[in-house]
Amino acid sequence: MNIFKFGGASVNSAEGVKNFVKIVQSYKDETIIVLSAMGKTTNALEEITDQFCAKSDLVETKFQEVKSFHLNIINELFTNKEDAVYEKVNRLFDQLHAYLQREPTLDYDFDYDQIVCFGELVSTTIVSEYLRLSGSPNKWIDIRTCLKTDNTYREGKVDWELSQKLVPQAFSFDSTFVYVTQGFLGGTTTNQSTTLGREGSDYTAAILSYILDVDKLSIWKDVPGIMNADPKWLEDAEKLDRISYQEAIELAFYGAKVIHPKTIQPIKRKKIPLQVRSFIDYSESGTLISTASKQMEKQLPVYIRKQNQVLISIRPSDFSFILEENLSSLFALFAKHRMKVNLTQNSAISFSVCVDKSERRLKNLLDEISQDFEVKYNDDVELITIRHHDDDAVERMTAGRDILLEQRSRDTAQFVII
Ligand SMILES: Nc1ncnc2c1ncn2[C@@H]1O[C@H](COP(=O)(O)OP(=O)(O)O)[C@@H](O)[C@H]1O
Ligand SMILES: N[C@@H](CC(=O)OP(=O)(O)O)C(=O)O
């Protein structure tokens, strides 16, 4: 049994959906397809959520834009305008529209999940129906009924015990060879929609792989595999043919956007090989992540850039030392405001921390920290991480830039720079 995960970029147009079907049909094994929302739909639904919560009149226009984007793709794919896909997709958009007519609940994260989930519900419906039309019978599964999470909206924590019971029942392969389901989504025990964190479809694929003990997980991307840098940033980036689970965890942890950080742990635990490969050159083998750690033969430096970072410098207002009590109260605040800490460093009387710039959460965090500490911060800095660094690699990343903070270990060098 295989699991294939396809992201939004692979199905951002009718052409993309046709290419996807070609890939799926070239495999004859039992397969579960985990799919994200089409193109940039999640971003658009995030905007709708913001407008909905702000009670803005723009909601309707944006909703119609998202709906037209999908209907245009359907119109290109389905010549028979009586096809069941129209009714199914329209029904989903009617449900979303009905939600948008309500009053916001005052819980932004809850509303976010109830709105944003439609991206994946619609994309999987279209793709499942188009596979059927193309001669591949398949079953559409609403993942919210079996991948159960708690009610931490926007970052649902998986209820492994319950999911382990429900997922195998849902994907029993007793009446089909192919399943199509949503990445990124989960459901609470009271059947509210949840999401697993942005770009969480890779993680969904890993959860299902773990629970169902699959032979292999393939994640299809718009790049040849995992490269030693984002090729959209460094044109001379090279593909890594094989890497170990450990290395993949490190790269994702430091922010290599190609794979969601939570993806590797579940598949590592069961030693399930993961192939990251191209949906464009689909005969190429991509990058294999496995235990066999004939790892990165050349040990190329790997460059990871995180933009939109904020470097916060914190001092106790009474000039006392930064001790355990201060640190633990600060970390509690970061956790409370769900700010991801990317790098920390402390001296005797100050503590520096580099975090993702997330306007809504950052402001609340800074307001609270300022009650007990003096706070300064640098906006819009970059965090550059180099795995397997050497002098040339460091020079390449830092020449002509202002280094605000630097940390090096044997394997990893990190720089906060402007
Ligand atoms: N080290 C890397 N290797 C390959 N791609 C990378 C790397 N770092 C960042 N990327 C980016 O990741 C993108 C693919 O991930 P993503 O857009 O999340 O795919 P999907 O939407 O299919 O899940 C590529 O287009 C590439 O720009
Ligand atoms: N659609 C969600 C989940 C996801 O993983 O998408 P993608 O596979 O396109 O990165 C998001 O954009 O966050």
The model's pLDDT over 162-221, given as tens digits with 9 standing for 90+, comes to: 999 999 999 999 999 999 999 999 999 999 999 999 999 999 999 999 999 999 999 999
Query: What's the pLDDT tens digit per position in 295-348?
Result: 545 689 999 999 999 999 998 877 777 777 778 888 999 999 888 899 999 888
Choose among 375, 354, 345, 344: nearest CA to 309.
Answer: 354
Query: What's the pLDDT tens digit per position in 361-400?
Result: 888 899 999 988 899 999 889 999 999 999 999 999 999 9
CA of 104 to the centre of ligand 1 (A): 34
- Beta-bridge partners for 217: 3, 274
Residue 99's identity, in one-letter code, is Y
At 211 the pLDDT is 98
Query: What's the pLDDT tens digit per position in 2-60?
Result: 999 999 999 999 999 999 999 999 999 999 999 999 999 999 999 999 999 999 999 99
Ligand 1 atom index nearest CA of 229: 1
- Per-residue confidence at 292, pLDDT binned at 50, 70, 90? low
pLDDT (average), residues 103-117: 96
pLDDT (average), residues 100-119: 97
Measured CA to CA in angstroms, residue 18 lies from 11, 60, 369 at distances of: 8, 30, 52
Out of 41, 113, 198, mutate this one to test ligand 2's pocket (max ligand atoms within 8 Å of CB): namely 198
Out of 219, 221, 240, 249, mutate this one to test ligand 1's pocket (max ligand atoms within 8 Å of CB): namely 221
CA-nearest residue for atom 12, ligand 1, is 258
At 293 the pLDDT is 59
Choose among 305, 309, 393, 379: nearest CA to 344.
Answer: 309
- Other CB atoms closer than 10 Å to residue 105's CB: what's the count? 11
C-beta of 6 in contact with ligand 2 (< 6 A): no
CA of 216 to the centre of ligand 2 (A): 21
Choose among 228, 45, 20: nearest CA to 126.
Answer: 20
Asked if 6 and 20 count as a contact pair (C-beta separation under 8 A), the reply is yes
C-beta of 219 in contact with ligand 1 (< 6 A): no
The 3-state DSSP class for residue 43 equals helix
At 361 the pLDDT is 82
Ligand 1 atom index nearest CA of 260: 18
Tell me the DSSP string of 152-202.
-TTSPPB-HHHHHHHHHHHT--SS-SEEEEESSEEE-TT--EEE-STTTHH
CA-nearest residue for atom 3, ligand 2, is 199
- Other CB atoms closer than 10 Å to residue 294's CB: what's the count? 11
C-beta of 38 in contact with ligand 2 (< 6 A): no
C-beta of 222 in contact with ligand 1 (< 6 A): yes
Ligand 2 atom index nearest CA of 199: 5
Domains of the chain, start order: 2-214 (3.40.1160.10), 302-417 (3.30.2130.10)
C-beta of 259 in contact with ligand 1 (< 6 A): no
- Per-residue confidence at 241, pLDDT binned at 50, 70, 90? very high
**Of the listed ranges 119-133, 273-287, 339-353, 403-417, the one predicted with least confidence:** 339-353
At 294 the pLDDT is 57
Report if pTM > 0.90. yes
CA of 409 to the centre of ligand 1 (A): 26
